[in-house]
């Protein structure tokens, strides 16, 4: 049996390594219809091809007027033909007021809108009937949305790397675009390992546990927008694991394994990758300290530890921020400051990540202890509580950084 020396690095340094490893994958770009772009990252800057709004339009239902036609005391104006939304209205002659609907184009000559509520009478006349309306004065631009007041043609609309959610895709549609350049979806091979691990659904023999890591990471990766291939569970046979990875490597952009990266006597991932350009070390983090990183046959490789909480923390601390940064997808986690509802202790020379529940009142309580096997506690949490290196203890009421899950 063997134990090898471990290098130790900080959370930030390891995240940088993951970023450098995956940067080349971000170069693959494709153009897709807006509908398929939901949840993906914009791969190039997009400039506005037209003004928004495309033309000056009314912010209210009311009357379009020439501001100069109405003195301070108000005036009686002739009612012109109404302007529904979507129509190109005739020019507005002097001394008249055109009924206009919200969003409809301001007629040439008009420069202000008086809301219908301020008109006497305060309802629109039947179209075609000769009528007048008494209106109060309104300054130039009153309830007028100018062309280009949201964005002007040629201006930057969205920057490369933007996460494309409903608001961003809505903007692209408003700009008349139907396709958008996005980063191609990274393809991940996910292999859980361990002689003790069996698929859920079958019988559980003594000493065995059901595989939580596969479902947990598959879910996290898919939620982050990645394409995941799973191989099932690999037993503690280094040769077989190496063969398995060789068989799949060419078809994926990233290989992730779980387990077998620690300092024990039976570390299948370390053994299987001994001949490859993979470094096994310890990140100064609890949980999730043991980490493998490198390439397997030229394909980026990450070896996560074997406990479920360690897997999720590895994903959230290293992979997800890198994906958000390189691909613009998933969206970065919301980071907030919160007050601890209870005291905690932390290993001073490590960055500790605890599971917690943030309340709307700005306090966060811990879910379960520090143990990386506590998957029920994890399932209750809505946040990761970050306790940086150099902190050995915090009191109730102390402020901490919290990442919302």
CA distances, 193 to each of 248, 265, 314 (Å):
16, 15, 16
Give the one residue of 19, 95, 109, 125 binding a second copy; rule: CB under 8 A. Answer: 125
Per-residue binding string, a second copy, 193-232, x by CB under 8 A, is: -xxxx--xx--xxxxxxxxxxxxxxxxx-xx---------
Report in angstroms how near the CB of residue 201 gets to a second copy at its nearest: 4
Give the one residue of 6, 8, 53, 276 binding a second copy; rule: CB under 8 A. Answer: 53
Give the one residue of 9, 11, 79, 89 binding a second copy; rule: CB under 8 A. Answer: 89
Give the one residue of 16, 150, 279, 325 binding a second copy; rule: CB under 8 A. Answer: 150
Does 246 interact with a second copy (rule: CB under 8 A)? no
Report in angstroms how near the CB of residue 272 gets to a second copy at its nearest: 16
Give the one residue of 95, 109, 136, 165 binding a second copy; rule: CB under 8 A. Answer: 165
Q: List Cβ neighbours of 13 (8 Å cut-off, separation of 6 or more).
A: none
Give the one residue of 71, 139, 275, 360 binding a second copy; rule: CB under 8 A. Answer: 360
Report in angstroms how near the CB of residue 169 gets to a second copy at its nearest: 5
The residue range among 134-142, 261-269, 321-329, 342-350 that interacts with a second copy, by the rule CB under 8 A, is 261-269
Does 102 interact with a second copy (rule: CB under 8 A)? yes
Residues 312-351, interacting with a second copy (CB under 8 A)? 312, 334-337
Phi, psi for residue 60 in degrees, rounded to 5: -140, 160
Give the one residue of 5, 7, 73, 126 binding a second copy; rule: CB under 8 A. Answer: 126
Report in angstroms how near the CB of residue 248 gets to a second copy at its nearest: 19
Partners of 337 in the β-ladder: 401
Q: List Cβ neighbours of 348 (8 Å cut-off, separation of 6 or more).
A: 389, 390, 391, 392
Closer Cβ to a second copy, 86 or 139, answer by number: 86
**Cβ neighbour number for residue 174 with a 10 Å cutoff:** 16
Closer Cβ to a second copy, 299 or 385, answer by number: 385
Q: Which residue has the tokens 């999730």?
A: 288
Does 167 interact with a second copy (rule: CB under 8 A)? yes
The residue range among 71-79, 134-142, 190-198, 386-394 that interacts with a second copy, by the rule CB under 8 A, is 190-198
Does 41 interact with a second copy (rule: CB under 8 A)? no
Closer Cβ to a second copy, 72 or 126, answer by number: 126
Report in angstroms how near the CB of residue 381 gets to a second copy at its nearest: 7
- Closest by CA position to 95, among listed 83, 85, 109: 109
Residues 378-397, interacting with a second copy (CB under 8 A)? 378-379, 381-382
Instruction: Tell me the CA end-to-end span of the chain in Å, nearest whole number.
Output: 40
CB 301 within 8 A of CB 294: yes
The strand pair at 46-47 and 75-79 is best described as: unpaired
Give the one residue of 22, 374, 385, 400 binding a second copy; rule: CB under 8 A. Answer: 374
Residues near a second copy (CB under 8 A), total: 108
The residue range among 9-17, 63-71, 99-107, 272-280 that interacts with a second copy, by the rule CB under 8 A, is 99-107
Per-residue binding string, a second copy, 271-300, x by CB under 8 A, is: ------------------------------
Report in angstroms how near the CB of residue 405 gets to a second copy at its nearest: 7
**Crossing angle between the packed helical segments 11-22 and 320-327, to the nearest 10 degrees:** 50
Report in angstroms how near the CB of residue 63 gets to a second copy at its nearest: 12
Does 181 interact with a second copy (rule: CB under 8 A)? no
Phi-psi region at 287: left, alpha or beta (left = phi > 0; alpha = psi -120 to 50): beta
Joined tokens for residue 44: 């190039």
For residues 214-248, one letter each, b for 16 or more C-beta atoms within 10 angstroms of the residue's C-beta and e for the rest, the string is: bebbbebbeebbbebeebebbebebeebbebbeeb
CB 302 within 8 A of CB 29: no
**Sheet harboring 299-304: ordered strands across?**
7-9, 277-283, 290-296, 299-304, 254-258, 187-193, 227-234
CB 404 within 8 A of CB 383: yes
């Amino acid at each position: 049996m063997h134990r090898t020396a471990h290098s130790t690095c900080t959370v930030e340094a390891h995240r940088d390594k993951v970023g450098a490893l995956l940067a080349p994958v971000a170069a693959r770009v494709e153009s897709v219809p807006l509908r398929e772009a939901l949840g993906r990252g914009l791969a190039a800057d997009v400039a506005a091809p037209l003004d928004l709004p495309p033309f000056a339009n009314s912010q209210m239902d009311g009357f379009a007027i020439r501001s100069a036609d109405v003195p301070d005391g108000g005036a009686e104006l002739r009612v012109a033909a109404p302007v529904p939304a979507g129509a190109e209205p005739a020019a507005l002659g002097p001394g008249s007021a055109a009924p206009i609907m919200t969003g409809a184009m301001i007629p040439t000559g008009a420069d202000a809108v008086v809301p219908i509520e301020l008109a006497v009478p305060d309802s629109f006349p039947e179209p075609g009937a000769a009528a007048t309306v008494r209106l109060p004065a309104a300054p130039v631009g009153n309830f007028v949305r100018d062309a280009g007041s949201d964005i002007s043609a040629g201006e930057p609309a969205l920057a490369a790397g933007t996460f494309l959610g409903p608001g961003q895709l809505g903007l692209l549609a408003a700009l008349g675009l139907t396709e958008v350049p996005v980063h191609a979806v990274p393809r991940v091979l996910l292999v859980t390992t361990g002689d003790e691990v069996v698929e859920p659904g079958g019988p559980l023999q003594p000493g065995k546990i059901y595989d939580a890591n596969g479902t947990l990471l598959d879910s996290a990766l898919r939620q982050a927008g990645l394409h995941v291939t799973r191989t099932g569970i690999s037993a503690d046979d280094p040769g077989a694991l190496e063969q398995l990875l060789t068989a799949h490597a060419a078809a994926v952009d990233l290989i992730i394994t779980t387990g077998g990266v620690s300092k024990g006597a039976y570390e299948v991932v370390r053994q299987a990758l001994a001949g490859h350009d993979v470094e096994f070390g310890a990140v100064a983090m609890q949980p999730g300290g043991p980490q493998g990183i490198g390439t397997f046959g030229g394909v980026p490789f990450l070896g996560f530890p074997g406990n479920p909480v360690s897997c999720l923390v590895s994903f959230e601390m290293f992979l997800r921020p890198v994906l958000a940064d390189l691909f613009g997808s998933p969206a970065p986690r919301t980071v907030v400051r919160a007050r601890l509802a209870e005291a905690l202790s932390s290993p001073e020379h490590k960055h500790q990540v605890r599971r917690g529940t943030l309340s709307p009142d700005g306090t966060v309580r811990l879910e379960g202890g520090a143990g990386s096997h506590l998957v029920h506690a994890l399932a209750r949490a809505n946040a990761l509580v970050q306790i940086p290196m150099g902190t050995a203890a915090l009191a109730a009421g102390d402020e901490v950084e919290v990442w919302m899950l």
